[in-house]
Amino acid sequence: MHIRLAMIVGVMFLKIELKINGKFRTAEVSASERLIDVLRQKFGLVSVKEGCGAGECGACTVIMDGEAVCSCVVPAFQADGHDILTVEGLEENGELDVIQQSFIDCDAVQCGFCTPGMIMSAKALLMKNPCPSREEIRTALAGNICRCTGYVQIIDAVETTAARIGVCRR
Amino acid sequence: MTGLFAPRSIEELLSLLAGSGEHEKHFIAGGTDWLIKNRGNISEDAVLFDLSKIPELRGIENRGSYLRLGSMETMTSIHTDPEIRLHAAALCDAASSMGSVQIRNRATVGGNLANASPAADTPGALAALNASAVIFSPSGTKELSIEEVLGTCPNKNTLSDSDIIMEFRIPVRKSHVSAFKKIGSRSEVSIARINLAVSAKYEDGAFCDAMVFVGTLGTAAKRSPEAENALLMPISLRKEGFKKALCEFAGRMIPSRSTLPYKQSAIQALAEDVLEMLEARGRSLEKSGEKSHG
């Protein structure tokens, strides 16, 4: 039987092991903690924003095992054994990821609060489908809300990323 | 004292259940509804079971006479599965239109039924496909219809607190077609204001053996015998008959609710769309000569 449990003053904590931005990490989490709480509070990954806290706005989107998820509705204990990617894990050797650069070049950032979530949703799409149509981009971003109403530039930025990756021939 | 367990098999879950006595139990599937409902107010003596690490609750496979669908399969895994697309199109429609990509990647079909929201999308589709739910408990397994699991109270299923939804069995039926559609407040990422799921046998443009379920009229899946009968009408009368039957059905289910006029108008539009989907799927089924459920 494989159960890892620890009791601390009346509340049960579970020790989780997960990979965050390529590095193995461990954390002790309580029953009501969410993945967003672990990422922000335990590991300081503040690109992960809390908007609605109910899985509706997408500001907290991270990539879990290659799939975009709202980290505000993932129980932290269910992240055990999984691979998490946040915006902090995109930059390599001091260079922005092509998707980050495209968001800048296409003026797809206004207040910036929705941007990390938008980028992670778009990144998850491009990892699976490097040459998406505008309609496919819209569907992939339907769960990310931008209150500055910058959707056209955001979709442009994702298209530009796809073009820059170079798989796409239009 | 809150207890938190992550069993790795049904056998392990069984022994943990046996040891948890009379404590309040929570079974956590994808967590998307559970966290919102329970975070911050989990009772001190509750015992939580994370179902995400139990392999027996996963998998989609064609077993000849039925599709076996593990209860922990997600909306994404369901709507991208070729067997589901071919034999359970209504469920594919429901899973692909539920929430956003992020929610579809986490929300499970078992959780969607157990949560029993009247606005849920997959229970109506499963019911219309005549699917059953296989329920596991320390006292044995049993097979229930979707309506039996939902019962009559919104947001509350009929299962006892040691029952787990293990899998669904969706009959593979020759010459059957199915479809699901909902209307919400916006085109995507929307909670259904009303939804409609239908399956029927299709032959030369005519329907028979129809099953029609409407969601949001009290529970997630209310069966409408009058709409099922209307689908048997001659083709020239069928569309108007189907719309009228569903309109009357909504009036019968929620006679005094303020949203009734809206729902009656919306369900007629849904009826037209779903009928068109069924007819198109029936025609392509006949054209392909593929006499299986599409």
Question: What is the torsion angle, in degrees rounded to the nearest 10, for the CA atoms of residue A54, residue B29, residue B95 and residue A51?
Answer: 10
Which among B5, B12, B105 has CB closest to A69? Answer: B105
Q: Which residue has the higher pLDDT, A65 or B38?
A: A65
Q: Are residues A114 and A79 in the same domain?
A: no
User: Residue A11: which pLDDT band, with cuts at 50, 70 and 90?
Assistant: very low
Query: What's the confidence (pLDDT) of residue A2?
Result: 43
The CA distance from B138 to B218, in Å, is: 31
User: What distance in Å separates residue B205's CA from the closest CA in chain A?
Assistant: 33
End-of-domain residue from the set A65, A86, A107: A86
Q: Which domain holds residue A49?
A: 6-86
Query: What's the confidence (pLDDT) of residue B290?
Result: 54
User: What distance in Å separates residue B62's CA from the closest CA in chain A?
Assistant: 26
The CA distance from B115 to B118, in Å, is: 9
Query: What's the confidence (pLDDT) of residue B22?
Result: 85
Q: Which CATH architecture has domain B176-288?
A: 2-Layer Sandwich (3.30)
Q: Which residue has the higher pLDDT, A100 or A5?
A: A100
Q: A115-128 and A151-165 are packed helices; what angle lies between their axes, rounded to 10 degrees?
A: 40
Sheet strands (E) in chain A: 6-8, 11-20, 23-30, 61-64, 67-70, 83-85
A-B contacts (CB, under 8 Å)? 108
Question: What is the torsion angle, in degrees rounded to the nearest 10, for the CA atoms of residue B100, residue B101, residue B104 and residue B106?
Answer: -110
Structure tokens given for B249? 């059905």
pLDDT digits (tens, 9 = 90+) for B147-165: 999 999 999 999 998 899 9
Question: Which three-class secondary structure state does DSSP give residue B152?
Answer: coil
Q: Which run of H or of E encompasses A101?
A: helix A98-105
Which among B2, B53, B102 has CB closest to A61? Answer: B102
The mean pLDDT value of chain A amounts to 92
pLDDT digits (tens, 9 = 90+) for A84-114: 999 999 999 999 999 999 999 999 999 999 9
pLDDT digits (tens, 9 = 90+) for A111-147: 999 999 999 999 999 999 999 999 999 999 999 999 9
Query: What's the confidence (pLDDT) of residue B189?
Result: 76
Question: Does A86 reach chain B within 8 Å, measured CB to CB?
Answer: no
Query: What's the confidence (pLDDT) of residue B40?
Result: 82
Taking a C-beta distance cutoff of 8 angstroms, is the pair B219, B151 a contact?
yes
Residues in chain A: 170
End-of-domain residue from the set A41, A59, A86: A86
Query: Which fold is adopted by the domain B55-171?
Result: 3.30.465
Question: Does A69 reach chain B within 8 Å, measured CB to CB?
Answer: yes
User: Residue A169: which pLDDT band, with cuts at 50, 70 and 90?
Assistant: low
Q: Are residues A69 and A11 in the same domain?
A: yes
For residue A8, give the chain B residue with the closest CA. Answer: B1
Q: Are residues A81 and A108 in the same domain?
A: no
Q: Are residues A77 and A120 in the same domain?
A: no
In a domain, A1, yes or no: no
Q: Which residues pair with B143 in a beta bridge?
A: B134
Q: Which residues of chain B have pLDDT under 50?
A: 291
Radius of gyration of chain B (CA): 19
User: What distance in Å separates residue A102's CA from the closest CA in chain B?
Assistant: 22
Terminus-to-terminus CA distance in chain A, angstroms?
55
B143 alpha carbon, distance to own chain's centre: 15
B116 alpha carbon, distance to own chain's centre: 10
Q: Please answer yes or no on whether A70 and B106 come within 8 Å at the CB atom.
A: yes
User: What distance in Å separates residue B105's CA from the closest CA in chain A?
Assistant: 6
Taking a C-beta distance cutoff of 8 angstroms, is the pair B147, B223 a contact?
yes
Q: Are residues A61 and A122 in the same domain?
A: no
Question: Does B186 reach chain A within 8 Å, measured CB to CB?
Answer: no
Question: Does B7 reach chain A within 8 Å, measured CB to CB?
Answer: yes
A118 closest CA partner among A98, A99, A133 = A99
Q: Are residues A76 and A141 in the same domain?
A: no
Query: What's the confidence (pLDDT) of residue A170?
Result: 55
A127 closest CA partner among A160, A155, A89, A99 = A99
Question: What is the torsion angle, in degrees rounded to the nearest 10, for the CA atoms of residue B79, residue B81, residue B83 and residue B86?
Answer: 50
The interface predicted TM-score of the complex, written ipTM, equals 0.93
> Total structural domains in chain A?
2
For residue A136, give the chain B residue with the closest CA. Answer: B101
Q: Are residues A80 and A128 in the same domain?
A: no
In a domain, A93, yes or no: no
Q: Please answer yes or no on whether B105 and A68 come within 8 Å at the CB atom.
A: yes
In a domain, A77, yes or no: yes
Q: Which run of H or of E encompasses B189?
A: none
Positive/negative CA dihedral, B156, B259, B185, B123: positive
Query: What's the confidence (pLDDT) of residue A6?
Result: 40
End-of-domain residue from the set A86, A119, A153: A86
CATH of the domain at A36: 3.10.20.30
Query: What's the confidence (pLDDT) of residue A7?
Result: 38
Q: Which sequence spans correspond to the domains of chain B?
A: 3-50, 55-171, 176-288
Question: Which three-class secondary structure state does DSSP give residue A59?
Answer: coil
Question: Does B155 reach chain A within 8 Å, measured CB to CB?
Answer: no
In a domain, A170, yes or no: no
